[in-house]
Structure formats: C-alpha cells, structure tokens
Amino acid sequence: MTYVDAPSTERPPAAARRRWTAARVTGLLLMALWALLGLSIVYMLVAGYDPEKIARYGPRILNGIWVTLHLVVLSILLGALISIPVAIGRLSHNPIIGGIAFGYSYFFRGTPLLAQTFLVYYGAGQFTAALKAVGLWMFFRDAYFCAVLTFSLNTAAYQAEILAGAIRAVPSGQWQAADSLGLRPFTTMFKIILPQALITALRPYGNEVILMIKASAIASIITVLDLMGQTRYAFSKTYDLQIYIWAAVIYLITVEVLRRLWEMMERRLTRHLRR
C-alpha cells in the first residue's frame, strides 16, 4: 500500500500590522519636515533665479571652486608627507621623540583650526623684520600660503594619528618575519608595514579629506578668495541669500563626488581582500 501526502492547506500567518508608535510617528513627521524644507529651498532657487547674477558672479564662483580644490589637495599632500615622521615618532619608544610627536599632535588636534589660522596669518606680522631677514616674508605675507601652511600642519596631526593606529593594527608577526629575513627596520617599515597600514587607513583618510574640504571655508576669513570667499564677495554686492545656498549645494556635490570616487578607489585597492 502506498501513501500519498496530501497537499497542505495551511497558509502562512498574516503579517502583523505595524503599530503607530510614538517613535514611528515622530520619524515620519521629521521626514516630512525635511522634505518640506528641501522643497522650499528648491522653490526658492528656482523662483529667484537671476541670469544676470549668474553671468556676473558665476565665473568668480568657478574660480573659487578651483582655489578650494587645489588648496585642499596641496594641504592634504603636504600633510601626508609631514604625518609619516610624526606617526613614526608616535610609535617610538624614545621618550623625547615620542613626547615631541605627541605634543605636536595634541596641539593641532586640540585647538580650533580657525585659531591656528589666525596665529599663522596675523602672528607672522609680529615678526616681519625677522622673516624679511631670512627671506620668508614673501611667503607669510600671502594669505593663500599661510592657509596652506596651517591646513597642512593641522591635517598632518590627524593623518599621523590615523597612520599610527593603522600601523599598530598590522600583526606583530609581520615585523618578526621581516626580522628573521634580516631586513633593516627602514626597509621593513616602508616596504612591508606601511603598504598594509595604508589599506587599513583608506577609509579614515577619506573622512579626513572630506573634513578638510568643508574646513577650507575658514581660509576666506583671511581674505583667500576660495569658494566661500567668492560667495561672501557676491553676497556683499547683492545681499541675496541664495548665493550662500548655491555655495552649500556646490560643497555638497563636491563632497558626494569625492565620496563616491574614494569608495571606487577603496574597492579597487582592496579587491584582493574580498572573498
């Protein structure tokens, strides 16, 4: 005798209806508020569009974008060069070297970037005679170079901490293996440890670049005509608040493009780690 299983007539239980909790209602209200705010900004930009202002101040804004980009790129690159010896100093067992590296990092990470910019830009003027004597006044009298110097020193402190943490994350067996092969410490650091540490530090480095793009607006306070500097100039002539909104949109687009490019680079460089 054979038995045939009868088809089951049971149905899965109905999905439970979501209750209207206070948290859900609050979340929906906040989403609606943000959507309304976004639509209001879009309406303001569309309704107040003035081709004459775009023609007059558009080229200045584009030039400000270019100044912002190369200010940030130059500062990041110089900061990266400075951060390597500082990071190595942070890892040093020598109390003097470690103390100097810690003091540098502590000062630039613990004080506002605005205050540091003022110290370099306005403080250099207190030593005009001494700077002229050594031929550095041509550098310090230019607001752009003062901004590059300050931003480089500031981001170097953050990059040094990122790099030092990434180096600590490399397994100690890598050092031991290199030592067993008779490699010198310099060769071990720059050919074995640093390449692995930089992979770990990619994402924090991306965050630092994004923070520097937004912090670069501080340069406008010392008369650097970057994106924010040109925006302030245009606003002083028109008193049109939309100019600041457009500047915010440009910053947002710049950050988003950079974020996606950085993610593409990160996926490319870490493709061997994915399974």
Say whether 19 sits in a helix, a strand or coil: coil
Question: Which pLDDT belongs to residue 238?
Answer: 86
Is 19 exposed, middle or buried (CB count within 10 Å of its CB: 0-12, 13-18, 19+)? exposed
Q: With beta carbons less than 8 A apart as the criterion, state whether 160 and 87 touch.
A: yes
Distance between CA atoms of residues 110 and 9, nearest Å: 68
CATH code of 70's domain? 1.10.3720.10
Q: Does 5 fall in a domain? A: no
In a domain, 28, yes or no: no
Which residue type occupies 116? Q
pLDDT given for residue 52 in this prediction: 85
Average of per-residue pLDDT across 23-37: 88
Asked if the structure places residue 2 within a domain, the reply is: no
- Note whether residue 118 is domain-resident: yes
Structural domain boundaries, residue 173 = 56-270
As a whole number, mean pLDDT of residues 229-252 equals 90
Domain presence at residue 12: no
Q: How far out from the chain centre does Cα 215 lie? A: 8
| Residue 56 in tokens | 């007059």
Contact assessment for residue 151 and residue 71, using Cβ atoms and an 8 Å cutoff: yes
Mean pLDDT throughout 22-41? 87
- Report, as an integer, the average pLDDT of 51-64: 88
Q: What is the pLDDT of residues 182-192, one digit of tens each?
A: 888 888 888 88
Quick check: is 106 in a domain? yes
CB atoms within 10 A of CB 185: 11
Q: Has residue 26 been placed in a domain? A: no
Distance CA 247, CA 61 (A): 8
Largest CA distance in the chain: 111
Decide if 64 contacts 227 (C-beta within 8 A).
yes
pLDDT of 153 reads 96
Residue 3 has pLDDT above 60, yes or no: no
Q: Is residue 21 part of a domain?
A: no
Listed residue (78, 263, 87, 55) closest to 162, CA to CA: 87
* Res 201 pLDDT > 90: no
Q: Look over the chain and give the mean of its residue pLDDT values, rounded to a whole number.
A: 87
Q: What is the mean pLDDT of residues 213-235?
A: 92
Residue 240 has what pLDDT?
84
Q: What whole-number distance in Å separates Cα of residue 157 and Cα of residue 155?
A: 5
The single-letter code of the amino acid at 123 is G
Q: Is the pLDDT of residue 228 over 70?
A: yes
The answer on pLDDT for 33 being more than 80 is yes
115-153 pLDDT per residue, tens: 999 999 998 888 888 888 888 888 888 899 999 999 999
The model's pTM is 0.82
What total number of domains does the chain contain? 1
Cα–Cα dist 181/174, whole Å: 11
Q: What is the pLDDT of residues 167-181, one digit of tens each?
A: 888 888 888 888 888
Q: Look at residue 274 in the predicted model and tell me its pLDDT.
A: 67
